[in-house]
Structure 1
Amino acid sequence: MTLDALRLEVPDIREENADSLNDLHQQLADARQLPHEHGLQQTLSTLFRLNRSAMTLLERQRALQSFAEEYRHYARAYDAHRTPSALFVRLCAETAAGFKRLLLQILQGRHPSRPHLAWCLYMAQHFLAQALLRHYQLYQEPPASLWRDSHLLYWIGERQECLDEPVAAAFQPQAATTLRGLYQQMLLLSLSNPFHLAEGEAPLLFGALAPLAALPRLTPWDEDDESEGPTVDLSEAQPCLSLDQIPEGDPQYLRRFELGPLLIALHDPAPLQSLKERQLLEHVRQHWLGRQQRRHERTEHSSECLLVIGLPAIHAQLLDQRPSSSNARILDVSPGGARLLCNADQGAQLPVGQLLLLIGNNTPVLAMIRWRHINDEGLHLGIRYLKGLPRPVWLRRAPSAQTHPGVLQSTPVQGSAWHHGLWLPHGQFVEGENLWLQLASVHNQAIVPLTAANLTTPLVSRYPLKLA
């Protein structure tokens, strides 16, 4: 199965034209004069017809902007102390359907602008988020289609590179201002054991998550990754895989939800956060990783170490050429990784996906930055250990061609065999190339065919190798 925008759940077009909606503004104004539930019913009926009518892109966009205003009007009646009616939940779902239909029309255009596409994706996701929140307020299981479409909207945003495009949309309860943040706000809400929240806590939690939701990251799947974040399968109709589920989907649709920056940010000063919001966030954070979901127990540990940053510097260090290094302090450790504290001004050198060599009291350890967060203490880094022996190698496209530095990561397996992974700068070589590989202190060169990378970041790629 592949993810495709055409899989979005939208109603079929039944009417060739929307002549009955020519006086839309008057219809909506008349509905507001009715008692709340009657006006809501009238507005929902009008939107139902609009979503099943053929309209131009501009007509549909203008109409849906009007319905977004009607949503704001009717939402005011449902605060933390008053649960929403079934009609209001249907209005959220139907408004989401309208924006999904508009999205399909935008995607069918020749050259949709990124801001326009980001706005439509965000609005569709926002009303799905509202439907999710209102189901939780009513202690009802959200429909499976809600998560299928939410994952698909995120996937489209990822492919169109507009996950972090800011969108100005003032809604209550407060929503994150980017598609990434809004989608992750939904994931965090669903991970917060929402059916155990007290009445009125779901919208309070949703709003409290808004300024924090963009901090975590959905990272590409790697089966060797031993971090403890939840696993998201974008092709499944559920927010995250359960603890006992083995990821069986296509790896391109699997993501690890890295929560490290969020867990640190919870302890940062937040002047605009109320005491009740702070207490609620502290209460639900235990559910985000799950009591059994942490793969390795984390232990507080304080020691100094040196960081050799980036593949070229690591290659030089492994050759005892003593490249420049940076000081860092280890704050806690686990068998799978560690948390480091560095100077904040080192941020430009230490993006997520950077390769590191940690030099401390023991054998140097190859590692990768999984997440980062800056606060008053400095730059916090969550690193993943890349287990195995790192060795410097040179690569050539021909026996006497220019050399390129690489790092060979070799891990012993049962018996006398080894697993090898070749780390190279991202994009330097392509799958299928035959390269000449030479180890340090070895004069012979071996021809190795470059297979598909099994781990890629914006900076480096790892290619599995079979060496005789």
Structure 2
Amino acid sequence: MTLDALRLEVPDILETDVVSLADLNEQLAQARLQSVELALQHVLGLLFGLNRSAMTLLERQRALQSFSDHYRHYSKAYQGEQPPSALFVHLCNELAIGFKRLLLQILQGRQPSRPHLAWCLYMAQHFLAQSLLRHYQLYQEPPPSLWRDSHLLYWIGEHQDCLDEPVAAAFIPQPASTLRGIYQQMLLLALSNPFHLADGECALLFGALSQLAELARLLPWEEDDEIEGPIIDLTEAQPCLSYAQHPTGSAEYLRRFELGALLVALHDPAPLQSKAESQILERVQAHWLVRQQRRHTRADQRSECNLIVGLGGIHAQLLEQRPRPTSAQMLDTSAGGARLLCNADQAAQLSIGQLVLLLTGSETPTLALVRWRHLNNEGLHLGLRYLKGLPRPVWLRRAPSAQTHPGVLQSTPTPGNGWHHGLWLPNGQFVEGENVWLQMASAHKQAILPLPPANLLTASVTRYPMQLA
């Protein structure tokens, strides 16, 4: 199944004539003079017709901006503990429909600018988030289409490089300022056991998450990934898979919701956060791991350690060339990974997805990936995922006498007498299907091997599964 923008749920165009826009703002202003319920009926009627009419991109965009401005006015009636009316929830849904249709027009037209596309994606996601919030405030299950469209908007943003484009949007309760942030704000709200919150607490929690949600990350899913956390299937009509569900979809659409940096940031000083917001965040965070127990027992262990950062440095260390290490302090550890604290000036080289070698004084160093990070006044907090197996240095060439390129071979014993190998290379150095000459550090002979499809890709390195005699 391929995710496609055309799967966005929007109604058919029912009319051939364009809705009259000449007096739209005047009609919206007149509606404000009525009671809230009568005004919402009038505004909804206008928006309902607009969403089902053929319009130019510019006409639709200007009209939706006007409706968004008036939405802010009507949302003031439902702040605090006041539950929203059914008409207001319907207004959120129709505004989401409007921006989804606008998005389709943008994608079907000429190549849009990234800020323009990011703004439209954000606005569509924002009104889906508002619909989600209002359903939870009424203790109602949101419609399945809401999650299908939310996942699809995230997918489009991911492929259009729009996830982290900042958008200025003055709404209450406060949304995060990027598409990634507001999507993850929705996920966190859904994971917070919202039907058990008291009146008014859903909106309070949504606002409290606005400054934190962007710290989480959706990472590629791997079957052998032993790190705990929610699993999201972007093709499913639900926020994430339940604890009892096993991923059955294509790995291309599966993501692991990494919360490490967010959980560390919850304990940072937050002067703009109210006491009530702090208390509700503290209360709901236990639900964010989908009630899953840790696969590995984590133990506090404060000890000094060193990191060799990057594939080139790891290759040199494995050859006993002693590159300059990065000092760190281990805060806790488990069989699956560790949390470290480094100097803040190391942030530039220790990015998410970076390959590192952990040196703790034991005879065998540990290969690991930087899974999450968070920078605060204590320094740079790192979450490492251990990569099981013995790391060994190798050289690769495009021909027997061509230039050498360093690589790292990760070898793990399998039941019986076999081995499973993974070859780590920098991104973009070789391509799938290319024949490479591989030489082990302890051997003089070279073996020619075709590079198979990668089974793990990060922002820095790629891992290829290898079959070696």
Length-normalised TM-score, structure 1:
0.99
The secondary structure found in structure 2 opposite 1:372 is strand
Equivalent pair of 1:450/1:463 in contact (CA under 8 Å)? yes
The residue that corresponds to 1:431 in the other structure is 432
Q: 1:298 to 1:253 in 2, by over 3 A?
A: same
- Residue 146, structure 1, aligned to residue 157, structure 2: no
TM-score normalized by the length of structure 2:
0.99
Runs of 4+ aligned structure 1 residues displaced above 4 Å come to: none
Within 2, Cα distance between the matches of 1:19 and 1:134? Answer: 28
Q: Which string of whole-angstrom CA distances, capped at 9 and with x for unpartnered residues, describes residues 23-57 of structure 1?
A: 21121112111111011011011100000000000
Distance 2:280 2:155 in 1: 30
Partner of 1:348, secondary structure, is coil
Tell me the residue number matched to 1:159.
Answer: 159
**Deviation sequence 1:411-433 (CA, Å, 0-9, x none):** 00100111000000111000001
Task: Provide, for residues 317-342 of structure 1, a one-character-per-residue CA deviation record: whole Å limited to 9, x for no partner.
Answer: 11111111011110011111000000
Distance apart, 1:17 and its partner CA:
1.8
1:29 aligns with 2:65: no
| Alpha-carbon distance between aligned partners in 1 of 2:169 and 2:457, rounded to the nearest angstrom | 34
1:21, distance to aligned residue in structure 2 (A): 4.0
Q: Tell me if 1:299 matches 2:315.
A: no
CA distance in 2, matches of 1:464, 1:444: 21
Give me the whole-angstrom Cα distance separating, in 2, the residues matched to 1:391 and 1:100. 50
SS in 1 for 2:73: helix
Q: After superposition, where does 1:90-239 map in structure 2 within 5 Å?
A: 90-239=90-239
Residues 306 and 327 in structure 1, CA contact (< 8 A), matched pair in contact too: yes
SS of the aligned residue for 1:289 comes to coil
Give the aligned residue type for 1:193. Answer: N
- Match of 1:390? 391
Q: 1 CA distance for matches of 2:326 and 2:77? A: 56
Q: Is the 8 A contact 2:315 2:408 kept in 1?
A: yes
Give the Å deviation of 1:20: 3.8
Which whole-Å CA distance do the structure 2 matches of 1:441 and 1:147 have between them?
A: 53
- Which residue of structure 2 lines up, in the alignment, with residue 326 of structure 1? 326
Change (3 A) 1:27 1:405: same
Question: Is the contact made by 1:229 and 1:293 (CA closer than 8 Å) also made in structure 2?
Answer: no
Question: Could you tell me how far apart the structure 1 residues matched to 2:226 and 2:80 are?
Answer: 39
Q: CA deviation at 1:290?
A: 3.2
How many angstroms apart in 2 are the aligned matches of 1:39 and 1:18?
Answer: 23
| Gap runs ≥5 in structure 2 | none
Where do 5+ consecutive residues of structure 1 fail to align? none
> For 2:290 and 2:96, how far apart are their aligned partners in 1?
31
> 3-state DSSP class of the match of 1:91?
helix
Contact 2:19 2:50 in 1 (8 A): no
Query: What corresponds to 1:406 in structure 2?
Result: 407
Q: What code does the residue aligned with 2:250 have? A: D
Q: Whole-Å Cα distance in 1 between the matches of residues 17 and 331 of structure 2?
A: 64
Q: Deviations over 1:280-299 (max 9, x none)?
A: 00000000013324322221
8 A Cα contact 1:413 1:419, kept in partner: yes
Q: Distance in 2 between matches of 1:389 and 1:285?
A: 36
1:42-57 alignment, distance < 5 Å: 42-57=42-57
> Does the 8 A contact of 2:261 with 2:372 survive in 1?
yes
Partner Cα distance (1:53, 1:21) in 2: 12
Alpha-carbon shift at residue 92 of structure 1 (Å): 0.1
- Contact kept? 2:424, 2:464, Cα under 8 Å: yes
In the TM superposition, what is the alpha-carbon distance from 1:361 to its structure 2 partner? 2.5
Instruction: Name the aligned partner's letter for residue 119 of structure 2.
Output: W
Amino acid at match of 1:47: L
Query: How many pairs align?
Result: 468
Instruction: Give the residue type in structure 2 aligned to 1:389.
Output: L
Q: Tell me, what secondary structure is at the counterpart of 1:349?
A: coil
Deviation at 1:19, TM superposition (A): 4.1
Secondary structure at 1:292 match in 2: coil
What's the CA shift string for 1:141-164, capped at 9, x where partnerless?
000000000000000001000110
Q: Is the 8 A contact 2:393 2:408 kept in 1?
A: yes
Aligned residues with identical type, % of pairs: 73
Say whether the 8 Å CA contact 2:19–2:53 is kept in structure 1: no
1:205-237 Cα distance to aligned partner (Å, 9 max, x none):
000000001001111122221111211111111
Between the aligned partners of 2:179 and 2:383, the Cα distance in structure 1 is: 24
CA RMSD, aligned part only?
A: 0.9
- What aligned pairs does 1:344-383 form with structure 2 within 5 A after superposition? 344-362=344-362, 363-383=364-384
Amino acid in structure 1 at the alignment position of 2:283: H
> 2: CA distance between counterparts of 1:127 and 1:451?
43
Give the secondary-structure state (helix, strand or coil) at the position aligned to 2:347: helix
Name the structure 2 match of 1:415: 416
Q: Is the 8 A contact 1:411 1:420 kept in 2?
A: yes
**Shift, 1:349, TM fit:** 1.2
Give me the whole-angstrom Cα distance separating, in 2, the residues matched to 1:80 and 1:225: 42
1:66-81 aligned within 5 A:
66-81=66-81
SS at match of 2:95: helix
Contact 1:21–1:50 (Cα < 8 Å) also in 2: no
Q: Is residue 335 of structure 2 the alignment partner of residue 335 of structure 1?
A: yes
The superposition leaves residues 215-267 of structure 1 with CA deviations (integer Å, 9 ceiling, x where unpaired) of 01111122221111211111111101111111111111111110000000000
